Structure 1
Amino acid sequence: MVKIGIMGLTGCSGCQCEILNCKDALYKLLGKVEFCYFPLAQDNNSFEEFDILFVEGSVTTDLDEEKVKKGRKVSKILVAIGSCACYGGVQAQRNDEVTLEEMLKEVYGTTEFPVNVSKPKAVSEIVKVDYELPGCPLDKKQFVYAVAFLLNGVKPFFPKIPVCHECKLSETECLTLKGIPCQGPISYAGCGAPCTSAGVGCQGCRGDCDFPNYEEMISILKEEGLSTKDAANFIKVFRGKQAQERLSEIFSKGVLNEKRG
């Protein structure tokens, strides 16, 4: 029996809820796998050995770090699920702008906590991650596919094409041409583009597609009325360290007319 664990760190548990929404698939899995650890869904949990461990949430406390390090040690395959685990998530969007003390003081009014806290980090910044399933929340179909692949000894593979590709397939009118800020050209598809089909610009919650052109994306967003700073902040919302490193490199080269900030 394949042993599976689903762990939550600092996050909203939305990705775990999406997994629970895979009702029919979960029923079929129960005959082939054992969910040894899934505190959100069951009372009896064992944290001793996993064939596959799925981890949701960013590493934000010493308890998170201790937990994920132990999980890595006792698991054969570790999969980061959701944008918090893959990139640091929304809570990491200002890591490069302010100190931890400033964050805590602004949000909580104090820097004193019963646990040691740190700036939110992606799971891969702490331990080796074998696969990533990004999204806010993750796409439940991709979760099911990933489990099916792994149970059959196949490496999960999802092409990192841009969201624009899915808009073309669904014949969704390009929002950029309508003047609506949209990150589709640089964002990783696989969600089915529900936001753009509803008339809302892609927020980039699944991170970068292959070879994202940040410079051109910022130029397009500026044409739609955003300042350079606002365009950069828009791109950073879900991407955490992934975007911060790229943006830092771009601004250090001075390739954009307006200075950041």
Structure 2
Amino acid sequence: MSGTLHGKRPKVAIIGLASCFGCQLQITNMEPHLLSLLDQIELVHWQLASSDPLPEDFDIAVVEGAVTTKEALETMRRVRRRASVVIALGACAVTAGIPGIAAPEFDDHLQTVYGTQVPQAAGNVISPVPISQVVPVDWEVRCCPIDPADFMAALHRFIVGSNKLPSTATLCGECKRNERGCFYGRGQLCMGLVTRAGCGARCPNLGRACNGCAGLSPQANVAAARRMAQDAGIGEARFNTALQLFNSVELQAGA
């Protein structure tokens, strides 16, 4: 759907579901570019900045957070009907992220937290899912939190058009291009073996192992990664626990 808005100044709605709102806060960290961006769009709704209801008319919906209630599910269906473009913002929207940890054995988790009666304020809770499992998504801005530059690029994709394809390789390739040593050689767990590339391996560049916040790469060999963790003395069980941090919903579906 690249370039579908034909150069007009699009109306943008930024919507928050189940998340920490950290990715929306990242947008405010774009100080050098924020005013320039606001000149290119008409910001008609931003849940972080105003409690006004979602308007009827908008072109681009930027959605942060996982779908965890029936109310959120209906909100996404309504948003998809209105918007020409839906952008998933951050790990919670893309993979269900941290809320998605509750997806396996959801009913048991629900009872552990709330007992036999879920508070009315929690809404009609459902097992967490990414927004792509509810409605079609046109573009994903990955990671936790997002890189503001990736958010800018996503909006420009639909304002002026782009034929750039999303990354599909694993993060290990980016580490090699950055000439970083492998954490596994030091007996340290790293999820770059199976995580989708595209962030430039920022955490490894800072000396921190990847935690997998960009989600699973479609080229990932999870079984081989488990064996490598075992051979490195880290253990398959520890690898599996780390893998679930941002990928529980996908793993539950059989990845």
Superposition TM-score tier, normalisation by shorter sequence = 0.7 to 0.9
Task: Give the AA of the match of 2:106.
Answer: T
Check if 1:99 corresponds to 2:118.
Answer: no
TM-superposition CA deviations, 1:211-241 (whole Å, max 9, x none): 1000111111122334433322221210232
In 1, Cα distance between equivalents of 2:163 and 2:74: 28
Gap change, CA 1:237 and 1:88, over 3 Å in 2: same
Alignment size in residue pairs? 245
TM-score normalised by L of structure 2: 0.88
Aligned to 1:257: none
Q: How does 1:220-235 map to 2 (within 5 A)?
A: 220-235=228-243
Q: How does 1:1-261 map to 2 (within 5 A)?
A: 1-42=9-50, 46-96=54-104, 98-100=105-107, 102-114=108-120, 115-247=123-255
In 2, Cα distance between equivalents of 1:233 and 1:95: 14
Percent identical among aligned pairs is 31
Structure 2 gaps, min length 5: 1-8
In 2, Cα distance between equivalents of 1:93 and 1:232: 12
Does the Cα contact within 8 Å between 1:139 and 1:190 map onto a contact in 2?
A: no
CA apart distance, 1:46: 4.8
In 1, Cα distance between equivalents of 2:158 and 2:145: 21
In 1, Cα distance between equivalents of 2:243 and 2:27: 27
Task: Give the AA of the match of 1:117.
Answer: V
Moved over 4 A (4+): 42-46
Does the Cα contact within 8 Å between 1:160 and 1:209 map onto a contact in 2?
A: yes
CA apart distance, 1:147: 1.1
In 2, Cα distance between equivalents of 1:246 and 1:45: 38
Aligned to 1:250: none
Aligned residue for 2:176, secondary structure, equals helix
Aligned-pair RMSD on alpha carbons? 1.9
In 2, Cα distance between equivalents of 1:37 and 1:61: 21
In 2, Cα distance between equivalents of 1:44 and 1:116: 22
CA apart distance, 1:56: 0.6
Aligned residue for 1:54, secondary structure, equals strand
CA apart distance, 1:205: 0.6
TM-score normalised by L of structure 1: 0.86
Gap change, CA 1:64 and 1:226, over 3 Å in 2: same
CA apart distance, 1:110: 4.6
In 2, Cα distance between equivalents of 1:24 and 1:45: 29
Aligned residue for 1:138, secondary structure, equals coil
CA apart distance, 1:109: 4.1
In 1, Cα distance between equivalents of 2:66 and 2:190: 25
In 2, Cα distance between equivalents of 1:72 and 1:197: 38
TM-superposition CA deviations, 1:102-147 (whole Å, max 9, x none): 2122234453221210111110111111111221112211111111
Does the Cα contact within 8 Å between 1:123 and 1:129 map onto a contact in 2?
A: yes
CA apart distance, 1:244: 2.8
Task: Give the AA of the match of 2:195.
Answer: S
Query: Relative contact order: is structure 1 or structure 2 higher (C-alpha 8 Å, sep ≥ 6)?
Result: 2
